[in-house]
Amino acid sequence: MKTATKIKTFVIIFFVAIIVIIAARHFIGLHFKKKFSVRPTPGVIVKEVQKSEFYKSIETFGTAIAQNSKTYRIKKNEVVGNLKIENRFVKKGEIIAALKNSNNVIADFAGKLGKREIAQGVLGSNSLIITLDDLKKIVIDIKIPESYVGILKPGLKAEITSSAFSERIFKGNVSSISSRIDPSTRSILARISVNNKNFEIIPGQLMTVKIIYDEINQIGVPESAVTIQGSTSFVYVVKNNIAEKRNIKIGNRNFGKISVESGLDEGDFVISEGVSKVRNKSKVKIINKK
């Protein structure tokens, strides 16, 4: 009888232990399911879709040249008085140098004077070369591949930069185009005119020239907002804190933006940061800084 009681007690304890384990696993599972199955709402930064200027460009290099330039050669021992040249601006008709024989050197146009070094013995040690440059307008001759012949035309805008001027952009335009293509380089010569009213660019300076063409005012979005998968491009548009996947047709890229030819409207809000955390029709939290 004692043995039967022990067995009965053991069986009861065994089944109670199993029930307790099953119940514990069930409630623990519910706890973790509740904790981890609900995905937290991702925080995103949105940008309003607005119109921007987009364009294509041709970029090359060229050397700055003064629009007008003249060289005067004189003998030092013929100069009357002190000769001032460095950083001197003269007007048209002004005397550059007074000479003993009264054949004074006269400025043919307004500009800045300079002095050019010469090799010893070329003109004699007593010779002096004075330069006069009209710096109000600078011209830059550039060579463009012949594939752009159909695009080039006088009047196209140009942006000119130099390593000497940090983030400084000079404005210019295409003033003339050669009538022939150079058969040896398969390129055509174009001249760029640049406004240099502050005399910042000096002749001989290497400049980077960007010719602008096919300008268009079109809605655009940040590059970070666009996801490209094969031939498909899409963005996430946010409305009432819900992200909606929207296929778009993209165009040119400028200044970190991509033009959108179709699929979006001006005034829409697209996710520009946090795209990887978003799914179609999912809820999002906008965290843009004011």
- Residues 142 and 128 occupy one common structural domain: no
Q: Which residue do the tokens 């830059």 mark?
A: 140
Is 163 in a helix, a strand, or coil? coil
- Residues 202 and 167 occupy one common structural domain: yes
CATH code of the domain in which 211 resides? 2.40.30.170
pLDDT at 127: 77
pLDDT at 269: 93
Average pLDDT over residues 238-251: 91
pLDDT at 62: 95
* Sequence-separated (6 or more) residues with CB below 8 Å from residue 114: 85, 86, 130, 131, 132, 133
pLDDT at 35: 58
Distance CA 45, CA 274 (A): 7
CATH code of the domain in which 268 resides? 2.40.420.20
Residue 97 has pLDDT above 90, yes or no: no
Residue 66 has pLDDT above 80, yes or no: yes
Q: Which of 164, 193, 215 is the endpoint of a domain?
A: 215
pTM of the model: 0.67
* Residue 25 domain flag: no
In sequence order, the β-bridge partners of residue 237 are: 244, 270
pLDDT at 179: 92
Q: Where are the beta strands (DSSP E) in the chain?
A: 43-48, 50-75, 89-90, 95-97, 105-106, 111-116, 127-145, 157-162, 165-182, 187-195, 206-222, 227-229, 232-239, 242-254, 257-262, 269-273, 285-286
* Residue 26 domain flag: no
* Residue 94 domain flag: yes
- Residues 100 and 121 occupy one common structural domain: yes
pLDDT at 31: 66
Mean pLDDT, the chain, integer: 86
* Residue 176 domain flag: yes
- Residues 117 and 174 occupy one common structural domain: no
- Residues 180 and 207 occupy one common structural domain: yes
Is 70 in a helix, a strand, or coil? strand
Residue 4 has pLDDT above 90, yes or no: no
pLDDT at 99: 86
- Residues 129 and 147 occupy one common structural domain: no
Average the pLDDT over each of 18-27, 142-151, 235-244 and give the range with the smallest value. Answer: 18-27
Average pLDDT over residues 141-148: 94
Q: What digits encode the pLDDT tens for the residues 165-191?
A: 888 899 999 999 999 999 999 999 999
Amino acid at 26: H
Decide which of 234 and 80 is more confident. Answer: 234
* Residue 33 domain flag: no
* Residue 21 domain flag: no
Q: Which of 183, 215, 247 is the endpoint of a domain?
A: 215
Q: What digits encode the pLDDT tens for the residues 217-229?
A: 999 999 999 999 8
> What backbone torsions phi and psi does residue 43 show, to the nearest 5 degrees?
-90, 135
Q: Which of 79, 98, 133 is the endpoint of a domain?
A: 133
- Rg of the chain (C-alpha set): 38
* Residue 126 domain flag: yes
* The total number of structural domains that make up the chain: 3
* Residue 17 domain flag: no
For residue 107, the enclosing domain spans 70-133
Q: What count of residues does the chain have? A: 290
pLDDT at 211: 96
- Residues 106 and 49 occupy one common structural domain: no
